[in-house]
């Protein structure tokens, strides 16, 4: 049975469109008539003889009929002219030319009722009038956009992204107007792009802002280096204009630069490294059609691994975590087909039963305790999760046919002087010991931006609270990488694994924590040392001034990916590792923190008595840092 309401709506819509098309047709008929009349008047310099008028009136019905039919065939009554562009302009011209091609022979056959020059002039005038009616919204919109009191904007980068952004801004019209381009290419200096003059290079931003009165600037360079971003940010800050950026093309929703995609600066834009891009098409075969299990799936890295392997076509994704809230939050952003398993990797029988039920092909082991100062006070907890929990997962994977096992490690595992670093170092040894029955590898990288408990969220909270921003030492440096970037490289390293390797990700240059604090305060619109205090509190137990990604004994090899290096790990013999793990199990069961620390120290060949990275003999410095 036909839905009467739907039928009524459909009928109304059709009638409305028909009425609109008829209105256009009537207007076009009047315009074509005007065009022929004007052409005749122009031909005779406004002194048209009577016989010429008679010839026009006899020929005009044919001219109108042919022209209207041509316009119908060309589709001039089926488009949405609000968005008319070059394509629609071609349709208008094509319809008039087609009319000319038909009417020219008719004029000859009918013994020239109108002069040939009138035919040509009428066609030109009709084209102009018909086109003007259809493009009037675009023509008048252009003038409106120029006169509206909107935010004057400088676009930095006169390339394809800058041009696309400027075009989209003009289409929006009521949000901003571009008053200048800046580009470091000297060949563009003084030229016009989209009707806007390229007034200089990035360094000319202060002068251009002064001359144009711009209040905003957009860095329209999706592949800009961090150095360029920092330059732009410093100049914008010096000039007093708000700076926004066009994100990398991989982040654009539509793949095209649009005003809605422009975002505020983020701390990742200002890092002392350029983000590494990797082609995920090379690693689709790693997960497509497989069952993938992610431990620690509620964490920053684990949840991103889950998101990316889901997008890459894994047949089934199993999320494992012992924290129900974090597990629920991760699953909420994924398809309902993902499997949530609430379990603790420290319970060997539970993990074995889980592997037996799920039968994963590929395991990403990201579950870990990771906070250095906290684990200095709780060595037993570090050992039970990072070492013995890892051992439980590896053994279950071996027993139940896992093909590939990837261990998420850290730069703190290299020559560790903290309990956390030592536990991850031994975790690497446990995983690599399983390489005889499955393809195992470990992937090391430094800090990731935005992970829970990391320095960036801490600084954000401290800045929001008005300070002070606390750093432990003005000399301290760390490697940083965005979470999506780190996971892309982890997946690529996993695809490269042949068994028993440690992969090291290229983290770029280390960032001084003091500089990071300074940039984040500036990014918030405040001034370091004036609006927000920076206070040095002294290095905490287990911290290093700087981190390493490999030891001198680990030979480095290039891989097919420029940002991934393969290391030949220095492994502990199986008998020695088994004996040490047995002692570790005993010490952990007895809640013996000193015993756990001693076993870890023996395994990593270091001193884990909580030594900080202070210069020997130098007392801890607790002071407010003046910023000049």
Per residue in 484-519, pLDDT (tens digit) is: 888 888 999 999 999 889 998 887 778 888 888 888
Report the pLDDT value the prediction gives residue 621, as an integer from 0 to 100: 35
Report the pLDDT value the prediction gives residue 6, as an integer from 0 to 100: 42
Q: Rounded to an integer, what distance in angstroms lies between the CA atom of residue 503 and that of residue 256? A: 35
* Number of helical (H) and strand (E) elements in the chain, helices listed first: 20, 23
Q: What is the CATH number of domain 148-265?
A: 3.40.50.720
Q: What is the CATH number of domain 280-604?
A: 3.40.50.720
372-387 mean pLDDT:
94
Report the pLDDT value the prediction gives residue 21, as an integer from 0 to 100: 60
Query: Taking a C-beta distance cutoff of 8 angstroms, is the pair 92, 127 a contact?
Result: yes
Q: How many CB atoms lie within 10 A of CB 403?
A: 12
Tokens of 33: 């008539």
Residue 295, pLDDT above cutoff 90: yes
Judging by DSSP bridges, how do beta strands 623-625 and 534-536 pair with one another?
antiparallel
Report the pLDDT value the prediction gives residue 59, as an integer from 0 to 100: 85
Residue 588, pLDDT above cutoff 90: yes
Domain-wise residue ranges, the chain = 4-144, 148-265, 280-604
Residue 82, pLDDT above cutoff 70: no
> Global pTM?
0.65
Report the pLDDT value the prediction gives residue 174, as an integer from 0 to 100: 53
Residue 586, pLDDT above cutoff 50: yes
Helix extents (H) in 443-512: 455-464, 483-496
Report the percent of the chain where pLDDT is more than 90. 25
* Nearest residue to 417 (alpha-carbon basis) of 445, 387, 454, 375: 375
Report the pLDDT value the prediction gives residue 24, as an integer from 0 to 100: 67
Considering only residues 103 and 406, tell me which one the structure prediction assigns the higher pLDDT.
406
121-134 mean pLDDT:
81
Cis peptide before 468 (omega within 30 of 0): yes
Per residue in 454-478, pLDDT (tens digit) is: 777 788 888 888 889 998 888 888 8
Report the pLDDT value the prediction gives residue 276, as an integer from 0 to 100: 58
Q: What is the residue-averaged pLDDT of the chain?
A: 80
Which residues are CB-neighbours of 330 under 8 A, at least 6 positions away? 297, 298, 302, 303, 306, 319, 321
If pLDDT is split at 50, 70 and 90, which confidence band does 20 have? very low
Per mean pLDDT, which of 1-5, 41-45, 242-246, 344-348 is the most reliable?
Answer: 344-348
Residue 579, pLDDT above cutoff 80: yes
| C-alpha dihedral (470, 473, 477, 478), degrees to nearest 10 | -50
Q: Answer whether 148-265 and 280-604 agree in fold.
A: yes
If pLDDT is split at 50, 70 and 90, which confidence band does 132 have? confident
Considering only residues 349 and 283, tell me which one the structure prediction assigns the higher pLDDT.
349
102-111 mean pLDDT:
84
DSSP, residue by residue, 216-271: EEEE--TT--HHHHHHHHHHHHHHT-EEEEPPPGGG-SSSS--GGG-EE--GGGGS
Per residue in 185-242, pLDDT (tens digit) is: 888 888 888 788 888 888 889 998 888 888 888 888 877 777 788 888 888 877 778 7
Return the minimum-mean-pLDDT range out of 161-175, 256-270, 358-372, 376-390. Answer: 256-270
């Amino acid at each position: 049975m036909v839905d009467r309401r739907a039928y009524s709506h459909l009928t109304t819509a059709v009638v409305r469109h028909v009425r609109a098309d008829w209105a256009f047709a009537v207007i076009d008929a009047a315009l074509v008539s005007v065009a022929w009349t004007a052409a005749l008047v122009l031909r005779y310099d406004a002194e048209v003889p009577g016989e010429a008028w008679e010839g026009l009136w006899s020929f005009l019905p044919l001219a109108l009929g042919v022209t209207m039919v041509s316009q119908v065939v060309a589709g001039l009554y089926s488009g949405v002219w609000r968005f008319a562009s070059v394509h629609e302009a071609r349709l208008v011209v094509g319809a008039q030319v087609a009319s000319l091609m038909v009417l020219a022979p008719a004029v000859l056959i009918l013994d020239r009722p109108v002069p040939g020059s009138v035919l040509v002039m009428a066609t030109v005038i009709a084209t102009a009038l018909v086109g003007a009616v259809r493009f009037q919204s675009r023509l008048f919109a252009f003038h409106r956009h120029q006169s509206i009191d909107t935010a004057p904007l400088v676009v930095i980068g006169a390339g394809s992204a800058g041009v696309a952004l400027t075009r989209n801004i003009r289409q929006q019209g009521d949000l901003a107007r571009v008053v200048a381009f800046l580009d470091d290419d000297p060949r563009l200096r003084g030229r016009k792009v989209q009707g806007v003059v390229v007034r200089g290079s990035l360094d000319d931003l202060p002068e251009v802002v002064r001359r144009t009165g711009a209040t905003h600037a957009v860095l329209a360079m999706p592949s800009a280096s961090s150095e360029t971003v920092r330059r732009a940010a410093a100049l914008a800050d010096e000039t007093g204009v708000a700076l926004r950026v066009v994100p990398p093309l991989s982040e654009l929703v539509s793949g095209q630069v649009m005003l809605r995609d422009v975002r505020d600066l983020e701390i990742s834009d200002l890092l002392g490294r350029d983000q590494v891009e990797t082609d995920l098409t090379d690693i689709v075969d790693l997960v497509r059609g497989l069952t993938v299990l992610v431990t620690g799936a509620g964490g920053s890295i684990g949840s991103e691994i889950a998101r990316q392997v889901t997008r890459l076509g894994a047949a089934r994704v199993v999320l494992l975590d012992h924290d129900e809230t974090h597990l629920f939050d991760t699953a909420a952003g994924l398809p309902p087909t993902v499997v949530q398993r609430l379990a603790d990797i420290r319970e060997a029988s539970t993990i074995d039963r889980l592997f037996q039920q799920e039968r994963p092909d590929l395991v990403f082991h990201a579950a870990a305790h990771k906070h250095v100062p906290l684990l200095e006070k709780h060595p037993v907890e570090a050992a039970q999760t990072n070492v013995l929990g890892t051992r439980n997962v590896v053994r279950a994977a071996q027993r139940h046919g896992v093909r590939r096992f990837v261990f998420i490690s850290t730069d703190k595992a290299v020559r560790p002087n903290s309990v956390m670093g030592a536990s991850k170092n031994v975790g690497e040894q446990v995983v690599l010991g399983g390489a005889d029955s499955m393809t195992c590898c470990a992937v090391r990288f430094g800090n990731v931006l935005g992970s829970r408990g990391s320095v960036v969220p801490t600084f954000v909270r401290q800045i929001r609270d008005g300070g002070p921003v606390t750093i432990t030492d003005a000399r301290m440096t760390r490697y940083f990488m965005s979470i999506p970037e780190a996971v892309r490289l982890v997946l690529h390293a996993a695809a490269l694994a042949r068994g028993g390797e440690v992969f090291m990700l290229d983290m770029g240059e280390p960032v001084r924590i003091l500089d990071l604090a300074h940039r984040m305060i500036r990014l918030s619109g405040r001034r370091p040392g004036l609006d927000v205090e920076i206070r040095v509190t002294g290095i905490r137990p287990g911290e290093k001034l700087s981190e390493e990604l490999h030891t001198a004994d680990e030979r480095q090899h290039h891989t097919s990916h420029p940002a991934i290096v393969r290391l030949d790990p220095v492994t502990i013999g199986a008998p020695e590792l088994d004996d040490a793990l047995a002692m570790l199990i005993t010490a952990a069961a007895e809640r013996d923190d000193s015993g756990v620390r001693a076993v870890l120290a023996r395994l990593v060949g270091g001193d884990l008595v909580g030594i900080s990275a202070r210069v020997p003999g130098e007392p801890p410095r607790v002071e407010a840092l003046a910023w000049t």
